[in-house]
Amino acid sequence: MPLPEEFLASDKLSEQEQAAILAGALPYLRRYAGDTIVVKYGGHAMVENDLAATFGRDIALLKLVGINPIVVHGGGPQINAMMKRLGVESQFVDGLRVTDREMIDVIEMVLSGTVNKQVADLISHAGALAVGISGRDGRLIQAERLVHYRRGDAAHQEAIDLGFVGTPVRVEPRVLYALLGAGLIPVVAPLGAGKEGEIYNINADTAAGAVAGAVRASRLLMLTDVPGVLDEHGKRIEELTAAEARRLIKEGHITGGMIPKVETCLKAVQAGAKAAVILDGRVPHTCLLELFTRAGPGTLITAE
C-alpha cells in the first residue's frame, strides 16, 4: 500500500539526501534509546492545524524509534473560549486562572474531555497509540491548594486566594509506567487530585515539570512562542545554569510568563529530570530538531 502523501519526505530532497539525513540521526537515536521524554504542549500551539498535525507525527515518530514520550498538554485558550460561550469572565493573577467551584467542572470538561482526546488523537492518527488521561487518574498528580503571593515582596503580603488552583505535592507515576510498558503514549491533562476528592486546576507547565521530575525524564521539552530564553541583548541563550537564570530574573531580563517557566525547569532538574529545554513551538518539527540535530534550537537548562 503506498504511504499517504503526508508521510512522504519533502520532494525537495534527493533520495540520497533523505538517506543521509536518516543515517545522521543514528548517534542521537542511540543516545535517547529507551529514554523518557516529557513534552509540554501548550494550548496556543494546538490552534494551528498544520503545526498540530506535524506535532502529532513527531511524537509518534519518537515512539516508533524507541523513545518513550509523555505529553502533558495545556488548553488555556480552549478554556477561555468555553468560558466566553458560558458568559463567564476569567481573572488571572500572575498568569494563573482564578478558579471557583463552578469553573473547575467546566475546566475539567475542557481539559480532560475535549483537549485531552484531541491531542491523543493527533498522535494516534499518525500511527502510534496514545491514551489520554488526566492528572487525577491513578492519582498521578496529587495536589493541594496553591498558596500564592503576588510576585515581588512575599514577606509583606497576604496570600491571594485563587480557589481551586493546585500545586503538585506528590506524583504517582505508576499509571504512566503501565502505559509506557504496554507500548502506549500517555497524554496528560493538567488536573490534580486533592486529598478529599477535590479537583485542582494546575498550570500545564507546572504539571509537566512535576511529571518530568518524577519519571526522571532525560529531557523536559517546553514548547512556547519564543526561540528560547533571551538574554539582555535579545539573543537566545543556548545553555542556562540555575545561577545565570537567577541573575537574569533578578536583573529583570527574564520577565512575565518566562519566570515560572524557567523556575519550573529548574525544579524539574532538581527533582530528577536530566535537563529541560525551552523551545519554539511555532517551528515545525521543533522536538525533532532538538533531539536529533547537533545545534539544538532552544535553551538547555541543567542543574548546576
Ligand X SMILES: Nc1ncnc2c1ncn2[C@@H]1O[C@H](COP(=O)(O)OP(=O)(O)O)[C@@H](O)[C@H]1O
Ligand Y SMILES: CC(=O)N[C@@H](CCC(=O)OP(=O)(O)O)C(=O)O
Q: Is 51 a residue that touches ligand X (CB under 6 A)?
A: no
Yes or no: say if 227 and 289 are a contact pair by the CB < 8 Å rule: no
Q: Which stretch binds ligand X (CB under 6 A): 10-18, 46-54, 129-137, 222-230?
A: 222-230
What would you measure as the largest C-alpha separation in the chain, in angstroms? 68
Contact status, residue 101 vs residue 29, Cβ threshold 8 Å: no
Mark 57-96 with x for binding to ligand Y (rule: CB under 6 A) and - for no binding: -----------------xxx--x----------------x
Query: Rounded to 5 degrees, what are φ and ψ at 263?
Result: -60, -40
Residue nearest to ligand Y (CB): 74
Choose the stretch contacting ligand X; rule: CB under 6 A; options: 111-119, 166-174, 191-199, 257-265: 257-265
Q: Verify binding: residue 105, ligand X, rule CB under 6 A.
A: no
Give the residues across from 280 on adjacent strands.
224
**Nearest to ligand X of 42, 163 (CB atom):** 42
Cα four-point dihedral sign 202, 205, 210, 212: positive
125, 145, 253, 274: residue in contact with ligand X (rule CB under 6 A): 253
230: contact with ligand X by CB under 6 A? yes
Is the Cβ–Cβ distance between 106 and 84 less than 8 Å? no
Neighbours of 123 (CB within 10 A): 26
Nearer to ligand Y, 32 or 143 (CB): 143
The 89-128 site mask, x for binding ligand Y (CB under 6 A), equals -------xx---------x---------------------
Under 8 Å between Cβ of 91 and 57: no
* C-beta separation of 199 from 134 below 8 A: no
Residue 201 found at the interface with ligand Y (CB under 6 A): yes
User: Which CB sits closer to ligand Y, 257 or 297?
Assistant: 257
What is the distance, to the nearest Å, from the Cα of residue 187 to the centroid of all Cα atoms in its chain?
10
Q: Is 80 annotated as a binding residue?
A: no
Interface residues with ligand X (CB under 6 A)?
Answer: 42, 44, 95, 205, 224-226, 229-230, 253-258, 261
